[in-house]
Chain A
């Protein structure tokens, strides 16, 4: 989405002919700046509704036109152009691109507006930004393109859940995910992961079916969504039909993926043995009683090494585990869409199939999507439309984190080169590794089912009634139905089977049934240079969850997979829960002479998630802007193309995620075979919304017809923070939902786009954005209260992700022992900085160490030359710390002799005088230097080449013979290059906690797009 400019006027080539009243006109529509064809331009005879649409090459033909008529050419992103026919048969037109930021149509809350008259903070992305990226869901492709928006993946497994944070963090507990609104209807979103795999409910939207995305950032933009808007709003507009010739597009790509970087480099086999021996040697030296029965320390070390890091045996086969566990993933994607219609009726329909094999044999994702979007103008008053979106997704994978079936974790931590893979007869080695809980994962793969299916149907119907020219009423009724089925089965024969009898099968069905109805009236009127618009309406939402879970044990047959064939009940239940929301919305805006703009909005929400006394909340905003460039004194300053100052203030809210969190409730279970009931939740009748007070000032400028600049500053204060707060254990509860304290996010966002080369056949643009984020907890419910949520602490004056742990000093050069700052509180209130051992060290707030970055953003390049085009997107983040939980297991200084070691262990202390951060290795060490201290904190800075796409359009003369209107081949890559000081993938979730989640993958795809 790069800003363009007014460059050329239209060019008309005239050919005089025909004096008849009715003529046939043909021509081509091109971009005035680039000279390239503009597809699908609407060509309408002025004063009528008759018209046609140009084809993909910008060619149009319109017949039976009065020879003296005027044609109107219009297309999104271009200025509308009118031309009198004057008896010509061929009229070629060049349209001028709208300077974005002026009159570009912007999709906003409950309607559209033009960017120039909008005083809120919103960023719109057109589908060009992500259309060629090899992703399942659009979020993965837009990292680094929107200032102030942080995007990370929960896991690198196919289809995993994205984590989007718009302008920081508004909440401790109620969720920091934005609201998704699809074509005007709030959609089910957020984390609907299965029990064991992260999955995104947004996967149901094929990125190719999206026309545009608008991210609403400030209160003026989002307050109309009231109680759900405090984390920002993502408005998604799906593709609609276009009038004119039916356009059929086929698109396909094939992609190849593998880990984006070399995560956690490990020591070699020889080094591993050497480190193991050293740890036992040191242990034996310290504890001579331990080896007395072995005769000598050396034979003790030999025995221990043989036990924990056994030598290779001739009757066993060893392997390079990486080759057994991983493969280059191949993904395929096929899409077919048709778009067509006339001035009255428009239809868009698409089908797509996507298959991603995953880089581990138990991972894959398969998705089908289908989509129909239709509308019809019934008569002068009435327009109706509807859409149907369908997707069916099957996803298989494994748990993330330090889980037994996370192959990445097993590979890095547990599978040392000395653990056998097979016997020499070819059968798998099936014994327990190490301490008896890890097994050879390869033979288990086909004995485990860990998958999730997700079927989603979104149905929508709408009626638009134009009562008068200025007054319009639109009603939408929609049904969003999401059906999920997760399976977690260990079949008969799985090495874990005895834990659950002869196998274990857990099935979970979840249904999310959301119905939304809204009716909104809008009124627009111009009085000379005064324009006003009014909007008022209501919206009701009914959101029902149905949940069924059944777990059984003991399969009755080898090979049985379903719980119907398991003989014993383990657990199971079903329930439904309902959350309803009733809202009234209204807004007002006024502008004078395209110079002064003011607007206001108000919404009243009632939610069933809160008690009767507190459930109604009011949310509002006011905003204004001044377009300085339209003032007389700037009109003639040639280098100021546009200059605008805007500001807004308003409120929005956030509801508790728990639907019944305000009530005291009893839950039930079993005691033996008898029913057992117990209080489950502490009541809080005063529970209320989390409220955001948000102000924003911004400046938009276009200078020298080349530089586009946007600067914004925001200040977002959240009051009545919702927290599932730890309560004194003496209440008998561990936590209770409470409104506790306040928090503030402030930041600066800058975006600059420069048109470096802008010639008829060549374009080169560079865009960069940078955002800062300062997050601070302002207060908690009681003075001085601190909430420790390791490795973080929440305390007034610190960020929400402030680290709190023991402060690691390093290694005592004389003894090799890890040393810590005592940090005991001295009588004068300061912290004692004496060096002590672990047990004597107190945890403390580590000033300046937080997971919140100092800055982040992206740099984007667009280049095109004739039929070749290329784009490149970098993303960066700096000034934050990552908590590396891998320190525990890979850098444990000898604690666990069975496991692998990170290369860092080679820097261990060996003899007095050694200066290092890695303590002396001691088997089963007691110094505990490896866990829960600032040793696990690492600088998270990174720079990543997120996207690179090169695309080439085939020459027209070749294509026209094949009756193809356009054909394009492209190569696209994701996560191609990464620069970071970390030894694992730096795209870590926003809280900075990294714990062996499956790392991001690098993908390269080859694609083809053909339009008929």
Chain B
């Protein structure tokens, strides 16, 4: 009997032996990879490069917010009604305690952290063959350029326009390497210092980047156009002109024809697109393309669209002022929601099949023409050169118009027409120190009745976004923008 008893007792003893053996307490996740082993080959690095762009297309960054900050704070797009459609963006109704509008800031730093991680890990990656070195350089160049773009966006959203005070206002917190919770609590640098880092990152990247087209990723030409845009915002007209001219003259990209212009917007990898971000149903339905996306809310052509956004009547009047403009075809009058108001069909969705999934086009060749025009006009290039670039864009959309001699007003009008919905208008007015005028009674505007000044200049405190009150509670080094409550 004793023997029998002992035999039974072996069972738990056996289990104990099994469980106490080495490694019982060393478990590893299977749905993620431990960071130390995550970037050991160039393939891993390539996957991490894709990771830089993956979340930039969320609605709080290039999936909507950047476009809204440019067009809806401007006079191109507005909410259809007072109760829905990013009313707080439209009316500049944000404040430091609202909880909704701060993910742009954190999304930017998330992307910067990914760039810094990639830069650090690429430094440890040893490659030997020429093709591998080229790949590695291209990845490193992309990391620097993405970082430059994000810092540029932080500077123009959270800092005052460079030309207002030569970049003396507060810009971004400059983080150039990986940090932990304790060493990240650094104060904001100036806009000027932020621009300096942006330009330095672009200079670092340009020699590293591939000049081949690489849809969905930065290449040399996209970085060059970013550089042109940064110079434009800084008022370095000759530099802006030179960089834009290099893109126009040297890149493999071409302007699409007037006939292809409407369909252009649904095409991936089209000849005019220098940088777009991939948006697809496979990569997260709600945050990228779902109800909260910009595209969903611009669309009125299906019963389940969001339809909370409409084009302003002043933009419609502008585009219709010269008959024959292909871009006037974006204005449609068959809204499934509110037939009394026109809607805006520029972004029909990838392949024209699902309006929710739109690759946002961040850099197009058309912008290079407009930058070249402005840079030439205000720099040493001259009005004749500027007119050439400007008329190319004007006549592509409307061959019936006569050539004009470029003026700053004409260039800004053309930017408003050509870049509508792409997030430029408000930033353009601000960088030039021009007022943004939106008066009640002008079309469906209602910003004034909701407390927003009818005319906003770069002196108004709300032209920059607030820093989150909640974050400042544990990160007091982060300075608030003047005018906002603590």
Contacts and interface: CB of A to CB of B under 8 A. Distances in A.
Interface of A: 286-287, 289-290, 292, 379, 381-382, 384, 432, 435-437, 463, 465, 473, 475, 477, 495-501, 517-519, 538, 540, 542, 547, 553, 568-571, 573, 575-580, 582, 606-608, 612, 615, 659-660, 663-683, 725-734, 736, 738, 782, 785-788, 790, 793, 806, 824-825, 839-843, 895-898, 923-924, 926, 932
A726 B471 contact: yes
A671 B54 contact: yes
B304 A498 contact: yes
A824 B486 contact: yes
A806 B307 CA distance: 33
B130 interface: no
Interface in B142-199: 173, 175, 179-181, 184-186
Given A498-B303, A673-B280, A732-B113, A542 B34 contact: no
A569 B8 CA distance: 51
Nearest to B20: A582
B109 interface: yes
A733 B110 contact: yes
B475 interface: yes
22 contacts: A382-B5, A435-B308, A498-B302, A519-B16, A540-B15, A540-B16, A576-B30, A660-B29, A660-B32, A666-B33, A666-B38, A671-B50, A671-B278, A673-B278, A678-B54, A682-B180, A682-B181, A726-B474, A728-B478, A729-B106, A730-B184, A731-B113
Q: Which of A518, A615, A660 has the most CB of B within 10 A?
A: A660
B12 interface: yes
Contact of A728 (B31, B44, B284, B471): B471
Interface string B103-117: 001100111111011
B486 A667 contact: no
A579 B106 contact: no
B321 interface: no
For B31, B52, B55, B84, which residue has the most chain A Cβ atoms within 10 angstroms? B31
Interface in B49-93: 50-55, 81-84, 93
A607 B181 contact: no
Nearest to B442: A289
A529 B485 CA distance: 73
Nearest to B450: A926
A612 B22 CA distance: 12
Q: Which 5 A-B pairs have the closest CB atoms?
A: A732-B113, A672-B278, A575-B31, A498-B304, A924-B82
A432 B8 CA distance: 68
A499 B304 contact: yes
Contacts of A289: 440-441, 449
Contacts of A727: 181, 184
A788 B476 CA distance: 13
Contact of A729 (B50, B180, B471): B471
Nearest to A730: B184
Interface of B: 1, 5, 8-9, 11-13, 15-16, 19-20, 24-36, 38-39, 44, 47-48, 50-55, 81-84, 93, 95, 97, 99, 105-106, 109-114, 116-117, 173, 175, 179-181, 184-186, 216, 278, 280-285, 290-291, 302-304, 306-308, 337, 354, 440-441, 446, 449-451, 469-471, 473-475, 478, 485-486
B54 A582 contact: no
A580 B5 contact: no
Contacts of B26: 608, 612
Given A286-B449, A670-B54, A680 B32 contact: yes
Contact of B181 (A495, A680, A731): A731
Contacts of B53: 671, 676
A608 B469 CA distance: 37
Counting chain A CB atoms within 10 Å of each CB, the highest count among B55, B106, B113, B181 belongs to: B181
A381 to B, nearest CB: 6
A615 B30 contact: no
Given A290-B449, A577-B27, A666-B38, A932 B97 contact: yes
A608 B27 contact: yes
Given A473-B9, A665-B29, A667-B32, A731 B47 contact: no
Contacts of A290: 440, 446, 449
Contacts of A729: 105-106, 109, 471, 475
Given A676-B47, A677-B48, A787 B9 contact: no
A465 B7 CA distance: 12
Given A540-B24, A607-B25, 16 more contacts: A289-B449, A382-B5, A496-B304, A497-B304, A575-B30, A577-B31, A666-B39, A671-B54, A673-B280, A677-B44, A725-B181, A730-B475, A732-B110, A732-B113, A824-B486, A843-B97
Contacts of A575: 29-31
Task: Count chain B CB atoms within 10 A of each CB in A517, A672, A786, A843 and give the residue with the most.
Answer: A672
B27 A659 contact: yes
Given A731-B113, A824-B485, A571 B282 contact: yes
A896 B290 contact: no
Nearest to A498: B304
B109 A731 contact: yes
B114 A672 contact: no
Given A463-B8, A576-B30, A664-B35, A732 B112 contact: yes
B1 A615 contact: no
B12 A477 contact: yes
Nearest to B471: A729
Contact of B173 (A287, A670, A730, A790): A730
Contact of A738 (B8, B181, B284): B181
Given A730-B184, A924-B82, A676 B25 contact: no
A932 B173 CA distance: 29
B311 to A, nearest CB: 18
Contacts of A663: 29, 34-35
Given A582-B25, A733-B110, A728 B302 contact: no
B277 to A, nearest CB: 8
A780 to B, nearest CB: 8
B283 A671 contact: yes
B279 to A, nearest CB: 8
A570 B286 CA distance: 11
Nearest to B467: A729
B38 A677 contact: yes
Contacts of B179: 730-731
B28 to A, nearest CB: 8
A677 B1 CA distance: 61
Given A290-B449, A519-B12, A731-B113, A570 B285 contact: yes
B58 to A, nearest CB: 12
Contact of B35 (A432, A517, A671, A683): A683
Given A676-B53, A678-B114, A726-B471, A465 B9 contact: yes
Contacts of B83: 435, 895-898, 924
B285 A500 contact: yes
Name the residue among A580, A673, A728, A839 with the largest chain B CB count within 10 angstroms: A728
Contacts of A571: 282, 284-285
Nearest to A476: B12
Contact of A540 (B20, B110, B469): B20
B470 A579 contact: no
A498 B336 CA distance: 14
Contacts of B34: 663-666
Contacts of A923: 82
A728 B184 CA distance: 6
Contact of B474 (A517, A659, A786, A790): A786
A719 B9 CA distance: 40
Given A730-B185, A843-B97, A932-B97, A475 B278 contact: no
A787 B471 CA distance: 8
A730 B116 CA distance: 12
A577 B29 contact: yes
A663 B33 CA distance: 10
Contact of A732 (B84, B109, B440, B450): B109
Contacts of A496: 304
